Amino acid sequence: MAGKPVLVQELDAVAPQESLAGRDLCSIADLTPGELAAILSLAHDVKQNPANYRWALDAKQMVMFFEKASLRTRLTFETAINTLGGAAMFVDQTQSPLGERESLADIARNVERWVSVIVLRTYAHDTITEMAQYASVPVINALSDLEHPCQAIADFMTLEERFGDLRGFNFTYVGDGNNVCHSLMLTAALLGAHCTVGTPKNYAPKADIVAQARAIANVTGSNITVVNDAVATVKGADAIYTDVCTSMGFEHEATKRAPIFKPWQVNEALMAHASPSAVFMHCLPAHRNAEVTDAVLDGPQSVVFDQAENRMHAQKALLLMLLGAGAKA
């Protein structure tokens, strides 16, 4: 696609370094195409030139409130701000959801006086949007039941490393139309990549998120497609992405879901329908030989550990942008 449509040019009229400073990231849809491109560009530079950013967030404080268990999200956020000169504080909310002991408004009004940024990993998406409503410092969605924007930014950073410009790229997602799927659709649309989502019936992504992604895609020149056939989903794909069939909070449905999702397993036979240069992606943790086989997860087409590494670099860029540090000259 040559050039940007007029609407996108208007959306990106303000420099991303200025437009993102002090903002929240509750949803990928909070970003314009230009802002997302700027975050990704900065993420690549931070990865290539980490020493240039060693003290960019000197004395900045980040608090993380996590209602859900975490490996990658916690460690990559902590490492990100620590290596930018700031500090991280972790508050374990797995036994006491945010807002239970004290109202979210009161938490926000306290915490904003002590820290520079709030990172939340929650069940209810409303917890994130309400914290953002009351806190005067940036709030970052590190996962909710509706979206996982930080994961999606790192994933498309990984694809840019491998394929370059993603306009017209054929991205596919197979499995449960969950929070990760939602953010991936929105990110693909913002970048002008085509996105095909394949799910079993009754497990499609939320209709309002699909509509939102399609509205963005109409501007950027991409297509968002939702189907109920695994082979049709991945035919000719440049990337095949899957996630667990049962997300955190839905464990009670695991027995019911297992036989429904079995035909949607990403295995060598399914990968064979994609482009020969296609990559396999997963946000991790993976249930080996459930949604994906060992042969694919550990195979030469897999970039899952590149994705995991890039969580740190993408989140560095996000923190730099939201805290007004921006790119180095």
Active site residues: 121, 148, 151, 243, 283, 311
Distance CA 284, CA 92 (A): 21
- Beta carbons within 8 Å of 153's beta carbon, 6+ residues apart: 28, 36, 39, 40, 43, 187, 314, 318
Contact predicate 195/252, CB 8 Å = no
Q: Cis (ω within 30 of 0) for the bond into 285?
A: yes
Whole-number CA gyration radius for the chain: 19
- What's the distance, CA 28 to chain centroid? 8
Write the DSSP assignment of 248-295 as a string of letters: TT-GGGHHHHHHHHGGG-B-HHHHTTS-TT-EEEE-S---BTTTB-HH
Contact predicate 74/90, CB 8 Å = yes
Map residue 198 onto helix, strand or coil. Answer: strand
- Residue 280 CA: distances (Å) to CA of 260, 285, 307: 22, 14, 11
Output the furthest CA–CA distance in the chain (Å, rounded).
55
State the number of CA atoms in the 13 A half-sphere of 157 facing the CB.
33
| Sheet (strand 194-198) strand order | 224-227, 194-198, 170-174, 239-242, 279-282
